[in-house]
Chains A and B, each alone.
Chain A
Amino acid sequence: MKRKFNPHSRSLNTEQKTLWLIAGIAVLAFLLAPAVVESYFLRIVSLALMYLILTTGLNIIAGYTGQVSLGQAGLYGIGAYTGAILAAKLGMPFWLCLPAAMAVSGLFGLVLGAPTLKVSGHYLALITIGFGVIVEKILVEWQSLTGGPMGLAVPAVTFFGHTLSEQGFYYLSLGLCILTLWITNNIIHSYFGRAFSAIRDNELAASCMGINLTRYKLLAFVLSAVFAGAAGCLYAFYSAFISPDSFSFSLSIFFLLTIIVGGAGTIVGPIIGTLLLVILPEYLHFLDKHRLTIYGALLIVSVIGMPQGIVGAIRKKFPRIINFMPPAEVSHHPIPRNTDNYSTGNILEMQNVTKRFGGLKAIDNFSMTIKSKTVHSLIGPNGAGKSTLINIINGVYHPDEGKVTFRQKDLIGHKPDRIALAGAGRTFQNVQLFRNLTVLENVMVGGHGKHKINIFTTILRSKKAREEEQRSYQQAWSLLKFMGIDDKVSEYAASLSAGQQRLLEIARALAMEPKLLLLDEPAAGLNDTEIKQLMKIIKDIKENGITVFLIEHHIDFVMDVSDTVTVLNFGSKIAEGKPNEVQSNPDVIKAYLGTEEADVC
């Protein structure tokens, strides 16, 4: 195995070694368990493993993508009944029922995920609860198919004519469970996984990085449903009898609780949470009547006391568990070169653009062209509509009138992710980072659009996938080094200082390999040294042929780096030209002296 394709575990520090040791012991313990533990305990562990397949999938949607699902028991039930019905009525073997159950559940996952395009949060919670209730009712009512409330008997799993024993089933569950974890791990540590987390942390920023929210949310739902289906099918064959009362709403709450207790949005979280919550009750029989009350209390205490779960607490205690190693080579010229040429010489043209909010015209009949490979700045008093203009260019807002042409293509009506992929990178006035991702991962999200491999190649972690990942890793590292924050790669973005966060945003935007870079007040909150560094960075960017569109309040800074300056006031252009021309324009002086000078700070 070539080590350089394995960037996340090149050489390990003490914490990471300890972790691998624990993982190794755990795997060994699971492999040897049937020889040691009592058979009833093996059943509990088998059940825990089946649940783990489901909760690992649930973690993709609820933990990583941040979309709550309280209907997972419904998907689990669909998987179980698909497997059971195919086996009982059509005599299909387990090996065919399993993929069928996964497919059918996945399809329902797609249906369940559809509303997420419009709503999230508690609306989604209610939709998924409703879905669970509907599935339960249909399982009860559609008696000709499901056997109704009396349930359905499921034939045993046979393997070359032999019926699978209890231990055999344990190993089957263990195998499928490990496979699930491996697949999930591969997805999570790919651009797919980063896209999921980006959506969870900041939908706006994610879509401005070229992530198609619709596609990735649906994908996350389908993946979680497929795993739920697999778990359900496995359960149906294991228990040999299924009835609707095994797929109730309280089970959905239980599933969500396991990942919250363990640590949502981590691979290990569901493992710890599921094993703990399935096995722990076996030792709490003495609690008797108080059991459910304590369960409810555990729910509250865990979400309040340990919102990041057990894994989150461990990570806080041992931050060095996440420790990225520098790649084999770091490029000293990480900024991608742009060699595009346009017949008009303009990368962006805006004609008569008007945008209204309510009755107010934020942008009023505005026209502007940005010449390719220049630094074009936009200045104007607070509330002039500067940020609105950037939001129109990259598709966050759609103008009411007018035309926007980017790289000689009409942009109107396109969503931010399309425009981002077309070559427009941006930063935000109020920094919009993915706060729960590391610095390095933030930049790698920026490189989202450069990834070409599909989900199947990702799952298999082929050579191609590893090479692509390595390229992205190396590029991100190089950009961070260029920005001077490569000592922070393994830290969470939220922990950076304000200035560092601005630099990180620029690095992230550069990772998009943009043709046009939209910088919204990049110098705000920076100290003098950082501003000097920023100036150099912008000049470097320009030298590489990337057009920069800059909004800034620091006039000296603007005058120094810009080729062209446009002045905006009350949504209209009042002046445009070379920096020194604009500086002496009487209208500009009036606009600034009259209103702005006092609160330029």
Chain B
Amino acid sequence: MPELLISGLVMGSIYALLALAINIIYSTTGIINFAHGELVMLGGMFGLVLVVNIGLPLVVGIVVAGGIVAVFAILLYYSTIKPFGDNLGGSLGWLMATLGAGIIFRNVAMLIWGSHPRPFPPLGGSELINIFGVNILQHEIWVLVITLLIAIFFNVVLDKTILGSAIKATASNRNTTRLMGISAEKMVLACFGMSGAVAAVAGFLISPITFAGPEMTVSIGLKGFGAAIIGGLGSSRGAFVGGLILGILEALSMTVVTPGYKDAIVFLVMILTITIKPEGIFNVTYEKKV
């Protein structure tokens, strides 16, 4: 049972990490970046190059990879979202464009690095430590802690700082924002940059568990969206709690029901949440675009 909980918490943190970065983009632009899983994958692959091939220290690797993936995220914005202008709600072109970008990222990564997964060094080494009679990796504690820190960071940034107010203003009305002297474009870029950096961190944290490879986020990417929605799109607290709920739900369905239906159950919960309570657990105001 404690192992089940730890499995759930670790997987949950991973989903939460994905959801947090999905949220930050949602909170300024009102769109969901369907290529986010691939940004995480890029984080992992660049991590591999920087840390394993070049031999940079892990922390330096995270910072550099964070910068690189942030640039990729901004490029993603310019190539797949900006062309659709301000009125993103009216068109779903960006949805197809981000899906397309995901396909490109994945296949180019495959051409460069090959399709096979590779081992990735965990934070704090691969020694097991025993806590309450359960063997765990130090890495898993780091996953939980870093996810929590990022969630708190976003929560503080969005709720307590001027930057947060500016981001929220951008989300509600770009023209007003412009009048107020805030560059909406810069806000959006800042959010894409942050989201990219968090994706890279996620890549570093996920890779030791899933192994690093072009397909590493295929099965978990969609669940990041699920976590964001269950918690309430745009809410950092929601993303964190939503992720954990999803992780524990999965661990439970794996042992209680048969493992084969695990994904079906997770997505069913996501669909039910959207249908019954689209604002998620944390009551994010859901506005239907008329």
Contact = CB atoms under 8 A, between A and B. Distances in A.
Interface of A: 68, 114-115, 118-123, 125-127, 129-131, 133-134, 137-138, 140-141, 203-204, 253, 256-257, 260, 289-290, 292-293, 295-300, 303-304, 307
A257 B96 CA distance: 8
Contacts, number: 125
A322 to B, nearest CB: 22
Contacts of A126: 32, 225-226, 229, 270, 274
A439 to B, nearest CB: 21
Nearest to B272: A115
A114 B276 CA distance: 11
B99 interface: yes
Contact of B103 (A122, A123, A137, A293): A293
B139 to A, nearest CB: 29
Given A120-B288, A292-B107, A127 B271 contact: yes
Nearest to B32: A122
Most buried by B among A140, A256, A304: A304
B26 to A, nearest CB: 9
A304 B84 CA distance: 7
B157 to A, nearest CB: 23
* B interface, over-half SS: helix
A120 B32 CA distance: 13
B271 A115 contact: yes
23 contacts: A115-B275, A119-B278, A119-B286, A119-B288, A120-B288, A120-B289, A121-B89, A126-B274, A127-B270, A130-B271, A131-B271, A134-B263, A203-B290, A289-B107, A292-B107, A293-B111, A296-B102, A296-B104, A300-B79, A300-B97, A300-B100, A303-B93, A304-B84
A138 B103 contact: no
Contacts of B64: none
B268 interface: yes
Which bracket fits the contact residues of B? 35 or more
Given A121-B89, A133-B267, A134-B268, A260 B274 contact: no
Contact of A307 (B93, B95, B107): B93
Interface of B: 31-32, 79-80, 83-84, 89, 91-97, 99-104, 106-108, 110-111, 222, 225-226, 229, 258, 260-261, 263-264, 267-268, 270-271, 274-275, 278, 286, 288-290
A154 B89 CA distance: 44
B83 A137 contact: no
A299 B275 CA distance: 29
Given A127-B271, A292-B107, A137 B260 contact: yes
Contact of B95 (A118, A119, A125, A133): A125
A129 B261 contact: no
Contact of B99 (A130, A133, A203, A253): A253
Contact of A137 (B102, B225, B261): B261
Contacts of A122: 31-32, 92, 95
B97 A303 contact: yes
Nearest to B222: A129
A300 B222 CA distance: 20
Contacts of A115: 271, 274-275
Contacts of B103: 292-293, 295-296, 299
Contacts of B95: 68, 122, 125
A137 B264 contact: yes
A121 B287 CA distance: 11
Nearest to A111: B271
A130 B97 CA distance: 19
A123 B278 contact: yes
B99 A299 contact: yes
Contacts of A133: 222, 263-264, 267
B92 A121 contact: yes
Given A126-B270, A293-B107, A260 B263 contact: no
B97 A299 contact: yes
A204 B290 contact: yes
A328 to B, nearest CB: 38
Contact of A141 (B106, B258, B271, B289): B258
